[in-house]
Structure 1
Amino acid sequence: MDKNKNSGITGAGKVVTSTIGNTVGGLTNTVGGVVGAASRGIRETVTGATGGLGKPLGDGVTNIGTGVEGGAASVAKGVKDAGE
């Protein structure tokens, strides 16, 4: 009897959930990308200022930032998928 499952309240709910999911997912990706880029910039600054002595510290900061970036991308994908 229900030929169109995306009509009425159900359809409106899906549009709202999808929009919120895509918005939150996009923002999460942005924040993750900023953290990742900032950590790579810090690595270059620390390594440039201290030479080889600061390389382990710079690499550590980058690894943390890259981890946050990857985690944020994973969360963003999950949020977007849930919105669908």
Structure 2
Amino acid sequence: MNNRDNGVTEGVKFVTSTVGNTVGGVTNTVGGVVGAVGRGVGETVEGATGSAGRPIARAVADVGSSLEDAAAQVAGGVKRAGEGK
């Protein structure tokens, strides 16, 4: 019975690891896209308005980068949870 329990446990670990890695990867991808879009919009605003729009442009870029960083942290946590760490 112990071997069977180990097999079931290993199966569950495999599934949770796969799901964790998948969800973590998707979260990382979405965060990267949001960060890139935020920086791009910020750069566009600054380019169109010059120094007058710089504070708003930087704020938009910073929000995008912050969301990207948060998504990366969530993704890492999900991956570690899937690995049982």
* Fold in common (TM above 0.5): yes
Q: How does 1:1-84 map to 2 (within 5 A)?
A: 7-84=6-83
**Following TM superposition, where does structure 1 have runs of at least 4 consecutive aligned residues deviating by more than 4 angstroms?**
none
1:17 Cα deviation from its structure 2 partner: 0.2
> C-alpha separation between the residues in 1 aligned to 2:44 and 2:61?
11
Give, as a single letter, the amino acid of the residue that structure 2 aligns with 1:33: G
Number of aligned residues: 83
Identity %: 59
1 or 2, which has the higher helix percentage? 2
Instruction: Note the aligned Cα RMSD (angstroms).
Output: 1.9
The 1-side partners of 2:43 and 2:63 are apart by 14
The code of the aligned residue for 2:47 comes to G
Residue ranges of structure 2 left out of the alignment (5+ in a row):
none
**Displacement of 1:7 after TM fit?**
3.6
Task: Give, in whole Å, the separation in 1 of the partners of 2:29 and 2:57.
Answer: 22
TM-score w.r.t. length of structure 1: 0.91
Shift of residue 8, structure 1, vs aligned partner: 1.2
Query: Alpha-carbon deviation of 1:67?
Result: 0.7
